[in-house]
Structure 1
Amino acid sequence: MNDFTRRHFFSRTSMGLGAAALASLEGQRATAAPAMSAGSTGGLAGLPHHQPKAKRAIYLFMSGAPSQMDMWDPKPKMADWYDKDLPESIRQGQRLTTMTSGQARFPIAPSIYKFAPHGKNGTMVSELLPHMAKKVDDIALVHSMHTEAINHDPAITYICTGDQLPGKASLGAWLNYGLGTENENLPAFLVMTASWTGRKEAQALYNRLWGNGFLPSKYQGVALRSSGDPVLYLSNPNGVSPDVRRRMLDSLSRLNEQEYARRADPETSARIAQYEMAYRMQTSVPDLTDISDEPQHVLDLYGPDVTTPGTFANCCLMSRRMAERGVRFTQIFHRGWDQHGNLTGDLPKQCRDVDQPSAGLLTDLQQRGLLDDTLVVWGGEFGRTIYCQGGLSKTNYGRDHHPKCFTIWLAGAGIKAGVVHGKTDEFSYNILDGAVHIRDLNATILHLMGIDHERFIFPFKGLDQRLTGVEEAHLMDAILA
């Protein structure tokens, strides 16, 4: 008789009841679904729910909150408001962080950067982004993103996992769980943290942002490092040959299989799969990270930092190489955007880090025919205030956190190119039209990957967990092709 623990008993019986209940509702749900794409392994039966536009996604995450009115959302009338206080009629009693709530004044700091029209529709882009300015006909700009979170850690956790509190599964883990992988020799979900040249103090990034939460651990993201082994413990220890390693894994697998037969703990089978993946990665990851085969004209797309491991440019090139190899979801975190002071000293450095590599990634994907079925997302966790934090001068200022409106862009599979969605007021403070919540963004990403966010659930602690939570979420129809 299997030696079940109390925890295993209740987890299995509750999941079984949940599955039975779900099956009883199938007649009430739209369940028609095409088969998974050829070459995919793993994933859930019945997924995708509909024909996907995107086979894979690349998420360029600007941790710290880029200043929307200095980069994408120009507010020229603010020049007449220099050093005047933000009107209470605009602020409307909105919650502030402790960093500015005690200020006697909220002086407006107009952007010092020039904007110019670009592309077929004259999309306005800051002089800080000369390379992305040339790509506006290939992206959809969204000025009307918003969130409830006002501090970094809960805000990043919210947009990456669907909840401000830790413990939920990340977007990449959900995709890995639902859709499986197209390359059994590489993880379906890879993460990179790029170096940055702006403000050196930066918010910490915790692995829960790419964690599995309540999902089995095999679905969590695998972090690639810029020095040493690309993945921790990828190399065999000194004196351990590949043959010895193989025999060790075979013996360990037999022991784990015995443990699984006795306790039926799904984490045991997850460990077996992870050990096997690690063994295959000893060959596949070095091949992935070796860019010596890239021609110079491709390297030039990404800029001069592309050959330096760990730079944003290098990470962008790596993400294209991952896309070619069938990696389902790649996320690049670029830190240092938290510019409470010295914005005009740090923001140009941050933009130089990401501008050419982001544009180069889009061009590279286009030239290889990969952008048609690859979704690319760029953005941070919230925006920044039009009013200055601390001292104000005409040449330098800082900005506080602002969750009520911020800008992101999307490109590639299923995205209507060359559009600008949403409108904010002249203070870049409130949304006037086309509000988009971060739940809507996650629902749209799932939709483009062939998943109905309302039907994509995982039973845990008596609840049907969803990436988009229990509140209403809508697709971003205005930017869908």
Structure 2
Amino acid sequence: MSKMQNEILEHYLTFNRRRFLSKLSLGIGSAALGSLLIPDLFSKDTAGAGADFPPGIPHFAPKAKRVIYLFQNGAPSQLESFDYKPKLREMNGQDLPESVRGGQRLTGFTATQASLPMVGSFVDFNQYGQSRAWISDLFPHTAKVVDDICIIRSMHTEAINHDPAITFFQTGAQQGNRPSMGAWLSYGLGSENKNLPAFTVLISRGKGNSQGVYSKLWSNGFLDSIHQGVQFSKGENPVLYLNDPEGMDKTDRRRMLDKLSSLNEMAHEELGDPEITSKIRQYEMAYRMQTAVPETLDLSKESDDIIKLYGPECMIPGTFAANCLLARKLSENGVRFVQLYHQGWDQHADLPRDISWQAKDVDQASAALVTDLKQRGMLDETLVIWGGEFGRTNFSQGALTKDNYGRDHHPRCFSIWMAGGGVKPGIVYGETDEFGYNVIKDPVHVHDFQATVMNQLGLDHEKLVYKHLGRRFRLTDVSGKVIRDILS
């Protein structure tokens, strides 16, 4: 081989070595970065038996890191909140035209009524913000943040009774034993804080007629139990059985957990049941939470301005205002999904009185949460959701009097609002007919809503699946589309 050929060969060998080493260094660096961002990325427990991809890795860049869901349990009336229908006042007392009803199924409350008298809202509406959105006078604080929220007036669902409707919103199915939305997000994205659960639940109750809230709504379903929601109570011990029993200190607890872990590992080697490892992780989480939970839920350091913003009730444990403030603190400390349930919206009778109570319970704190997150620079990365399981009818349930009426369940159209997390602020999406009975523009199904929430957290709802009993399950079942028009 000539001298020139040797030089050419050496050049290419050197060049290839350089490329190899540079690519290798990039790969090692990426792996190191990945292990820092997602500590469990390379652990043997990263992917469950039914996983299609390693949990903790979004499918694409997310707009939101976390969700705070203010669920108004019992179904607020859209006709007294965010969907202004002056036509109903004009036709007050007239029977609902069959051409509008279209043979829709009614509940047992109104199916046998001789007539369905339409009823206009007792409360006035006004336009607010640059969007000029119509907001009822029951929600003056929400009206002040109208340019920070997106109101969706065209929600619709299939369920007509509370339990299946709430379960449908929370789990994507009307029957139980399915993972809830928070559990899916915990499974798909993991936790931002190893000392706190990825999914927490807070419950409050208003003065109105309350529908039940059941643990199946924050269940892990067929996912590992580590993904179930952790309910915080309003008592002295916000998480039951978290504290050490009398006579046991942290050293004793650590010794006990180590011994229990070794026994569980032996059982896992023998039986191969993945729930055993989930139990080990739950015990360890509880141990870390003993320090993290009291510190996170301590409201004593909140400023007077924050207390004034949320209202004085935010210092009363168990109120909606207190739970909204706790939701901000939990989100601030890395909890992925904070679910609030506020009971009392089921106004079949005495609606003017009861909805006034309920609105007063939630209006200030809901708006305060949006304002608080915004001024802390957290709103862009936090998706806030406000709404119930379905709407209320445009006709009165039972007798319609001058000063009193009620509204039955109505799945065909209702309103919710969303804020932050990459959702366009200051817009109104969707439209219902002049009777407030049917969606006539831009319908949004429950599965569309769920797909959109997951999209904002970087998850493709069609790809986040879990194989169970021979079937590939997902939150949105076999439907759902992302509502791109409301996204920035």
TM-score (norm 2): 0.89
| Residue pair 2:55, 2:189 contacting (<8 A) in 1 also | no
| Residue pair 1:65, 1:384 contacting (<8 A) in 2 also | yes
| Residue pair 2:55, 2:187 contacting (<8 A) in 1 also | no
| Residue pair 1:59, 1:376 contacting (<8 A) in 2 also | yes
1:218 corresponds in structure 2 to 226
Q: Structure 1 counterpart of 2:277, which letter?
A: S
Q: Report the Cα offset of residue 238 of structure 1.
A: 1.5
Q: Report the Cα offset of residue 474 of structure 1.
A: 0.9
2:316 corresponds in structure 1 to 308
2:202 corresponds in structure 1 to 192
2:143 corresponds in structure 1 to 133
Alignment partners' CA distance in 1, 2:119 and 2:87 = 11
1:16 corresponds in structure 2 to none
Taking structure 1 as reference, are residues 402 and 38 closer, same or farther at Cα in structure 2, changes over 3 Å only? farther
The C-alpha deviation readout for 1:351-407, integer Å capped at 9, x for no partner, is 011100011000100010000111111110000001000121122110000000000
Q: 2:246 aligns with which of 223, 238, 242?
A: 238
1:59 corresponds in structure 2 to 69
| Residue pair 2:131, 2:428 contacting (<8 A) in 1 also | no
Equivalent residues in 2 for 1:18-417, closer than 5 Å: 39-42=37-40, 44-45=54-55, 47-197=57-207, 199=208, 201-417=209-425
Alignment partners' CA distance in 2, 1:67 and 1:393 = 18
| Residue pair 2:96, 2:118 contacting (<8 A) in 1 also | yes
2:483 corresponds in structure 1 to 476
The C-alpha deviation readout for 1:18-72, integer Å capped at 9, x for no partner, is xxxxxxxxxxxxxxxxx87964445635720000000101000000000001110
| Residue pair 2:56, 2:189 contacting (<8 A) in 1 also | no
| Residue pair 2:56, 2:187 contacting (<8 A) in 1 also | no
The C-alpha deviation readout for 1:93-123, integer Å capped at 9, x for no partner, is 0000001101111111110100001001211
1:24 corresponds in structure 2 to none
Secondary structure at the aligned position of 1:306 is classed as helix
Alignment partners' CA distance in 1, 2:115 and 2:35 = 57
| Residue pair 2:167, 2:176 contacting (<8 A) in 1 also | yes
Taking structure 1 as reference, are residues 188 and 145 closer, same or farther at Cα in structure 2, changes over 3 Å only? same
Taking structure 1 as reference, are residues 403 and 282 closer, same or farther at Cα in structure 2, changes over 3 Å only? same
Secondary structure at the aligned position of 2:394 is classed as strand
Alignment partners' CA distance in 1, 2:236 and 2:109 = 39
TM-score (norm 1): 0.91
Q: Which runs of 5+ in 1 are unaligned?
A: 1-34
Alignment partners' CA distance in 1, 2:153 and 2:481 = 17
Alignment partners' CA distance in 2, 1:219 and 1:153 = 22
Q: 1:427 aligns with which of 429, 435, 440?
A: 435
Secondary structure at the aligned position of 1:305 is classed as helix
Q: Which moved more, 1:428-437 or 1:244-253?
A: 244-253
Q: Structure 2 counterpart of 1:475, which letter?
A: V
Alignment partners' CA distance in 1, 2:351 and 2:36 = 48
Q: How many residues align?
A: 444
Taking structure 1 as reference, are residues 285 and 46 closer, same or farther at Cα in structure 2, changes over 3 Å only? closer
| Residue pair 2:257, 2:283 contacting (<8 A) in 1 also | yes
Q: Which runs of 5+ in 2 are unaligned?
A: 1-32, 41-45, 47-53
Q: Which moved more, 1:117-126 or 1:235-244?
A: 235-244
Q: Which moved more, 1:434-443 or 1:37-46?
A: 37-46
| Residue pair 1:40, 1:183 contacting (<8 A) in 2 also | no
Secondary structure at the aligned position of 1:315 is classed as helix
Q: Structure 2 counterpart of 1:384, which letter?
A: R
2:7 corresponds in structure 1 to none
Q: Report the Cα offset of residue 228 of structure 1.
A: 2.9
Q: Structure 2 counterpart of 1:304, which letter?
A: P
| Residue pair 1:186, 1:281 contacting (<8 A) in 2 also | yes
Q: Structure 2 counterpart of 1:476, which letter?
A: I
Secondary structure at the aligned position of 2:88 is classed as helix
Alignment partners' CA distance in 2, 1:256 and 1:46 = 25
Q: Report the Cα offset of residue 263 of structure 1.
A: 1.0
| Residue pair 1:41, 1:181 contacting (<8 A) in 2 also | no
Q: Report the Cα offset of residue 243 of structure 1.
A: 1.6
| Residue pair 1:447, 1:453 contacting (<8 A) in 2 also | yes
Q: Structure 1 counterpart of 2:90, which letter?
A: D
Alignment partners' CA distance in 2, 1:361 and 1:475 = 25
Q: Structure 2 counterpart of 1:290, which letter?
A: D
Alignment partners' CA distance in 1, 2:204 and 2:291 = 23
Q: Report the Cα offset of residue 195 of structure 1.
A: 2.6
Q: Report the Cα offset of residue 314 of structure 1.
A: 0.4
Q: Structure 2 counterpart of 1:193, which letter?
A: I
The C-alpha deviation readout for 1:69-91, integer Å capped at 9, x for no partner, is 11100100111111111110010
Alignment partners' CA distance in 2, 1:56 and 1:149 = 28
Alignment partners' CA distance in 2, 1:348 and 1:237 = 44
Alignment partners' CA distance in 1, 2:231 and 2:39 = 21
1:448 corresponds in structure 2 to 456
Q: Structure 2 counterpart of 1:390, which letter?
A: G
Secondary structure at the aligned position of 1:351 is classed as helix
Secondary structure at the aligned position of 1:104 is classed as coil
Give identity over the alignment, percent. Answer: 52
